[in-house]
Amino acid sequence: MKFVHIADTHFDSPFTNLVRDNSFGEIRRLEQRQVFKKIINYIKENNIEYFFIAGDLYEQKYIRESTIQYINNLFKEIPNTKIFISPGNHDPYIKNSFYNDFNWNKNVKIFNSKIERCEYENVNIYGVRI
């Protein structure tokens, strides 16, 4: 089994604690997109079966729908990869979250507050949002 695991990307974070110059936040957000695109390309090039995102994919307070669309469009580039997202404390699965309201690609599974098992030919994946 081949998989990639990431966590704490915090898409659309303002990064105000890092520097006083607001332009740094915009540069950092663009770099996040570039790195995420590289991860997707790695998954494509290496036929990775599973992609795990363990919390804080984005910042609920600041996330823009255009960023969610960007992420989801990248997920469409890896249709044979099963993607599992466990929301974290900065991107909770709540009523008005994109996890709840957005039409994610069919290869994306977002865990909620109950333990779930996803069964596949050679593996069972368990997940929960805490």
Residue range 85-109: mean pLDDT, rounded: 93
pLDDT, residue 112, reads 86
**Where in the chain are the domains?**
3-127
Q: What six digits make up the tokens of 115? A: 């333990």
pLDDT, residue 65, reads 96
Instruction: Name the DSSP class of 85.
Output: E
pTM of the model: 0.91
CB 97 within 8 A of CB 129: no
CB 83 within 8 A of CB 108: yes
Per-residue pLDDT at 6 exceeds 80: yes
- Separation of alpha carbons 65 and 125, rounded Å: 28
CB 93 within 8 A of CB 113: yes
Per-residue pLDDT at 29 exceeds 90: no
**What CATH number does domain 3-127 carry, 3.30.565.10, 3.20.20.70, 3.30.365.10, 3.60.21.10?**
3.60.21.10
Phi (first) and psi of residue 108, to 5 degrees = -105, 130
pLDDT band for 71, please (50, 70, 90 cuts).
Answer: very high
